[in-house]
Amino acid sequence: MGWSFKLHGGLAAGLGTALLVLAGLTWLPGTLHLSASGWPTAAIFALLFPIFIAALVRVFLRRADRHDMWLAFRCLPGKVEVALGALVLSGVTLLTVSGVGVGNVQAAEMKEGRYFVFDTTPYKRGTVEVSRSQYLDVLESDQRSMFAIPGVLFVGAAYFALTAGELRRAELGAWK
């Protein structure tokens, strides 16, 4: 596998790991103050789209089906397979548990000392005032989702990049 595939996959896996750790930190008491400003979200998505799209392009250029991709993934070192699997599993677990806790509310905000959330319950859609404790629960859930979803996508980009590298290595080996 070429160094660019390793660099691409390593960068994506590292960013995904960092975001999943931040998502896990939202379970600790208190809120993360990273999401108070808009720059973390902008930085996450500014990095996510080029890395993820480039990984997808690399896989599409290999013209491999799911079976070939799975075989190429199985050719990766065992520690890499386990690490990617653990990251995906932890991300999916974070998202699943996060979605169960707060119900049909999201987008916590504070205006003039009062706490509001957006209720997505059918026939009751709209902004409602809530207590501070419910506001903090929704805020933590929003932060968890804000970090976990891109984290899982970064791990997916690592999978695609490393798999494409193995497919490329196999193609080059077949021609020698």
- Signed CA dihedral, 110, 116, 117, 120: sign only: negative
14-18, 64-68, 89-93, 139-143 — which is least confidently predicted?
139-143
Average of per-residue pLDDT values in the chain: 81
Mapping DSSP to helix (H, G, I), strand (E, B) and coil, where does residue 109 land? Answer: strand
Q: Which residue type occupies 32?
A: L
pTM of the model: 0.81
Give bridge partners of residue 115 from the DSSP assignment: 110, 130
Tokens 């690399």 correspond to 58
- Domain extent listing, the chain: 3-102+148-175
Interval 154-169: pLDDT, tens: 999 999 999 988 888 7
Asked whether the beta carbons of 61 and 161 are under 8 A apart, the reply is no
pLDDT tens per residue across span 51-95:
999 999 988 888 888 888 888 888 888 899 899 999 999 988 888
* pLDDT on residue 34: 60
39-45, Cβ contacts within 8 angstroms, sequence gap of 24 or more:
41/146, 44/19, 44/146, 44/147, 44/150, 45/150
